[in-house]
Amino acid sequence: MLRVNMLPSSQRQWVDEMQVLGVDIGGSGIKGAPVDLMTGRLAAHRHRIATPHPATPDAVADVVAAVAAAHGWSGPFGVTIPGVVHNGVVATAANIDDGWIGLDAGRLFAARLDVAVVVINDADAAGLAEATFGAGRGRGGLVVLLTFGTGIGSALIHDGTLIPNSELGHLELHGASAEHFAASQHLAEEGAEDGLTLDEWAGRVNEYLAHVERILSPDLIIFGGGISKRFEVFGGDLRSAADIVPAVLRNNAGIVGAALAAKETR
Give the other-Cβ count within 10 Å of 176's Cβ.
10
| pLDDT recorded at residue 5 | 39
CA–CA separation, 32 and 47 (whole Å): 6
pLDDT of residue 128: 96
- Model pLDDT, residue 191: 56
Are 218 and 203 contained in the same domain? yes
Residue 120 placed within a domain: yes
Domain-located, residue 3: no
Angle at alpha carbon of residue 130, lines to 73 and 173, rounded to 5°: 120
45 occurs within a structural domain = yes
pLDDT at 264: 72
pLDDT tens figures, 189-211: 865 668 999 999 999 999 999 99
pLDDT in tens, 81-113: 999 999 999 999 988 999 999 999 999 999 999
Q: Tell me, rounded to whole angstroms, the distance of Cα 250 from its chain centroid.
A: 10
**What pLDDT score does 266 carry?**
57
Is there a domain that residue 4 lies in?
A: no
Per the CB < 8 A criterion, the answer to whether 250 and 229 are in contact is yes
CATH code, domain with 108: 3.30.420.40
Quote the domain boundaries for residue 97: 9-125+253-264
Total Cβ atoms within 10 A of residue 12: 14
**Which long-range CB contacts under 8 A does 131-135 form with residues at least 24 apart?**
131/157, 131/160, 131/162, 132/40, 132/160, 132/256, 132/260, 133/39, 133/40, 133/248, 133/249, 133/256, 134/40, 134/222, 134/247, 134/248, 134/249, 134/253, 135/220, 135/222, 135/245, 135/246, 135/247, 135/248
Q: For the chain, list residues with pLDDT below 70.
A: 1-17, 190-193, 265-266
- How many domains, the chain? 2
